[in-house]
Amino acid sequence: MASTDASAGSSAAAAQNEQQNCAAAGFKLKFCTVCASNQNRSMEGHLRLAQANYPVISFGTGSLVRLPGPTQSQPNVYKFNQTSYDSIYRELEAKDPRLYQANGLLNMLGRNRAIKWGPERWQDWQIGAPRVKQLDQKDQGAAGMEAGVPDIVITCEERCWDAVVDDLMHRGAPLNRPVHVINIDIRDNHRDASIGGSAIVDLADSLNKVAVEERERVGPAVFDAGGAASRATFDERVPEVLSEWQERWPDLPATWTLAWF
């Protein structure tokens, strides 16, 4: 019983910190970016959103973290949640610094280790668990995500979108809270990840503008509660926002659904 009370107290404190950060910085939607290994596309999106002052977390949906190796049949494989970006960087640098500098992996990992500790797996994530440790670690985008519940999930590949939507269905919506899951098809290379990062921020800005308008209409306390009724008018406007965004980014096909946490 004491453990349950402590957990509830931690969740309440995280939610209070999140509300205080929101009030201090002006309202911002909370985002989650997802790709296969939480290395390239999701981390570029994570960085760009954090730089734009959005609360953000990121994940991968694969069974393991896979990075290119010396041949196609010899990938470098790591475990999610147990391997830091820094340790991967140091291992690859020791193996073949010329190869991994030339193919961009060391630059990518150098960026990643400045964003957060290591790759996280979507399926292992406990939605709504406080993320106070990430704030203490100064993970980029951690401020405002203390309660661990994003408003928008953006995946970077159709199979990742499928994995996220299927996983949410199997979880059974314990929080009874709506979440928009949007896929943007981004090719898995450094150049396209950079373009995709710009597109993600553009979409975030458009969604946030509409969210601010609807929040003012229904009242901050009602909107911030996050329930289906309190967000209904915002939810109804998301497809229109996405359609307008798609006209600006025709080379990045997008898919959308409203799911539940």
Q: Which residues, 6 or more positions from 20, have their beta carbon under 8 angstroms from its beta carbon? A: none
- Among residues 108, 119, 110, 113, the alpha carbon closest in space to that of 138 is found at 113
What percentage of the chain reaches a pLDDT higher than 90? 89
pLDDT at residue 5 above 80? Answer: no
- Among residues 31, 32, 85, 37, the alpha carbon closest in space to that of 60 is found at 37
Q: Which residue has the tokens 């959308």?
A: 256
Please write the tens of the pLDDT for every residue from 185-203.
Answer: 999 999 999 999 999 999 9
Q: How confident is the model at residue 21, as a pLDDT?
A: 46
Using pLDDT thresholds of 50, 70 and 90, give the confidence band for residue 3.
Answer: very low
Segment 132-137 shows an average pLDDT of 92
Could you count the other beta carbons within 10 Å of the beta carbon of residue 194?
15
Please write the tens of the pLDDT for every residue from 201-227.
Answer: 999 999 999 999 999 999 999 999 998
Using pLDDT thresholds of 50, 70 and 90, give the confidence band for residue 73.
Answer: very high
Please write the tens of the pLDDT for every residue from 226-244.
Answer: 989 999 999 999 999 999 9
Segment 17-40 shows an average pLDDT of 79
Instruction: Answer whether 259's CB lies under 8 Å from 150's CB.
Output: no
Q: How confident is the model at residue 25, as a pLDDT?
A: 53
Q: How confident is the model at residue 157, as a pLDDT?
A: 98
Q: How confident is the model at residue 1, as a pLDDT?
A: 44
Name the average pLDDT for the chain.
92
Domains of the chain as residue ranges with CATH: 2-61+121-260 (3.40.50.2300), 63-118 (no CATH)
Q: How confident is the model at residue 6, as a pLDDT?
A: 46
Please write the tens of the pLDDT for every residue from 8-25.
Answer: 444 444 445 545 444 445
Positive or negative, the CA dihedral 37, 41, 43, 49 is: negative
Segment 52-70 shows an average pLDDT of 98
